Amino acid sequence: MRLSFIGMGVAAGAAAMSLGLGAGVASADPFDGVVNTTCTYPQVIAALNATNPGAAAQFNSSPIAQSYLQRFLASPPPARAQMAAQLQAMPGAAQYIGVVGEVAGVCNNY
């Protein structure tokens, strides 16, 4: 299990990942929007493919990342908050903040 793929999974939600994913929540914590997102897995994937094809290709080649993102989006906000906190504690996770920001702004359009 590679950290980059797990990070990408959440970053895509992440998708994912400014991070107000359709929730309209303004916060100092960049993951609050992801925690409260209304975006579905297909929306996040479509947004990722449209905004960052390179990151999407990497994500799409990782069943681990896909599974993590599906679990994240299927979880209630308290569980998402815990998952996001775990991600933030992982070395290297910061590199995905930009990808999530890209996806965050558009996932509800898909």
**pLDDT tens profile 66-93:** 998 899 889 999 998 898 888 778 777 7
Please tell me the total count of domains within the chain: 1
Whole domain around residue 102: which residue ranges?
3-109
Per the prediction, the chain carries an average pLDDT of: 75
3-state SS class at 110: coil
Residue with tokens 């929540």: 25
Residue with tokens 């897995």: 41
Is residue 101 predicted with pLDDT exceeding 80?
Answer: no
The CA distance from 12 to 30, in Å, is 13
Is residue 95 predicted with pLDDT exceeding 80?
Answer: no
The CA distance from 10 to 103, in Å, is 11
The CA distance from 64 to 36, in Å, is 22
Between 14 and 34, residue with greater pLDDT: 34
Between 41 and 30, residue with greater pLDDT: 41
| Per-residue pLDDT, 10 | 53
The CA distance from 57 to 108, in Å, is 21
Is residue 25 predicted with pLDDT exceeding 50?
Answer: no
Kindly report, residue by residue over 42-64, the tens digit of the pLDDT: 999 999 999 999 999 988 998 98
pTM beyond 0.85: no
CB 72 within 8 A of CB 13: yes
